[in-house]
Amino acid sequence: MKALDVESVQAFVLVADLKSFTRAAGALDTTQSAISLKVKRLEDCLGKRLLERTPRMVRLSAEGRAFLAPARALVAAHQGAMGSFGIARRRLVIGISHHVVGADLPILLRRMKDSEPSLVMELRVAMSRQILDDFDRGALDAAIVLRNDNRRRDGDVIFEERFTWRAAPDFEHHPGEALQLATQADPCSVRSMATQALSQAGIPWTEAFVGGGIATIGAAVCAGLAIAALGHRVAPPGTIDFGPRLGLPRLPSRDVMLYANVSDRQTRNSLQTLSAAIQSTAAQ
């Protein structure tokens, strides 16, 4: 058997993790055709079909599932060997919205670690408005937030988030009573979006719970205390969309944006890897 090419193995691992040749290409700052060629060469070298490709999906074959763990180990060993020469550790300070971070954060951090072990990532989680304020005054290298309006023309769209009215299956709302809401405090843009939608539809509402972050909002919803406007990505497992059942107004989708203030190629590649990882988890 021929010796394995580490870059081809890394390309395979990224495609497997991100479930997309396009997102893997973005993470490695290359083209989709280049990634496809690397994976094809690896498959030819192994004599195995590692990935099943369809127009809408990329998934591991049985051979690919068996090879993935050893492939990760090979990439990690290579990166460790390179690190033995004292590669300087870099710090990347990123602000991310409560409404974006979600339960997939461990997956994102793992993929960043696998991609660049020497990177020290400082993550700050807050409301989108606070994150943008910190970014504008130079306290952050990058910001990942919900788009609040169309006044800001810079930035890159990572994905479009869908919002629905989430509640526990046993949530009770009696006709004629004000709708019990779980929200973050002002000036949360999602709170404004939800309350404006209800007010415009003539539906009375009241705050039953005010939380400091999506984890607390999710806890209140799961406890059956209230209903909340939540994105698909951060909605707690087991909650359901109560909007159709209660005749609530449809909530608009919001773009998740990446704003960056970096110029060096290595840091841009790190942000591309993070964006690709967020896209892959958003598509699940």
Query: pLDDT per residue over 107-124, tens digit each?
Result: 778 777 777 777 888 999
Last residue within a domain, chosen from 26, 57, 83? 83
Judgement on whether residues 12 and 123 belong to the same structural domain of the protein: no
Could you read off the pLDDT of 185-195 as tens digits, one per residue? 888 889 999 99
In the predicted model, is pLDDT for residue 93 greater than 60? Answer: yes
CB atoms within 10 A of CB 281: 20
H/E stretch holding 95 reads strand 90-97
Judgement on whether residues 106 and 175 belong to the same structural domain of the protein: no
**Domain count across the chain:** 3
Judgement on whether residues 74 and 94 belong to the same structural domain of the protein: no
Judgement on whether residues 222 and 145 belong to the same structural domain of the protein: no
In the predicted model, is pLDDT for residue 221 greater than 90? Answer: yes
Measured CA angle at 141 (ends 135, 147), to 5 deg? 50
Judgement on whether residues 178 and 211 belong to the same structural domain of the protein: yes
In the predicted model, is pLDDT for residue 45 greater than 80? Answer: yes
Q: Decide: pTM greater than 0.75.
A: no
- Residue 99 sits in a domain whose CATH number is 3.40.190.10
Judgement on whether residues 135 and 62 belong to the same structural domain of the protein: no
In the predicted model, is pLDDT for residue 135 greater than 90? Answer: yes
Mean pLDDT, the chain, whole residue set: 85
Whole-angstrom distance, CA of residue 125 vs CA of residue 236:
18
Judgement on whether residues 140 and 274 belong to the same structural domain of the protein: yes
Judgement on whether residues 69 and 103 belong to the same structural domain of the protein: no
No. of helices (H) and no. of strands (E), the chain: 11, 12
20-29, 44-53, 57-66, 214-223: range with highest mean pLDDT: 214-223
DSSP character at residue 227: B
Judgement on whether residues 178 and 125 belong to the same structural domain of the protein: no
Could you read off the pLDDT of 231-281 as tens digits, one per residue? 988 899 999 999 999 999 999 999 999 998 877 777 777 888 888 778 777
Q: Does residue 118 lie within any of the structural domains? A: yes
- Residue 37 sits in a domain whose CATH number is 1.10.10.10
Last residue within a domain, chosen from 45, 62, 83? 83
3-state secondary structure 48-106: CCCEEECCCCEEECHHHHHHHHHHHHHHHHHHHHHHCCCCCCEEEEEEEEHHHHCCCHH
Judgement on whether residues 153 and 259 belong to the same structural domain of the protein: yes
Domain membership of residue 102 as a residue range: 90-159+255-282
Whole-angstrom distance, CA of residue 68 vs CA of residue 60:
9
Q: Does residue 14 lie within any of the structural domains? A: yes
Q: Does residue 1 lie within any of the structural domains? A: no
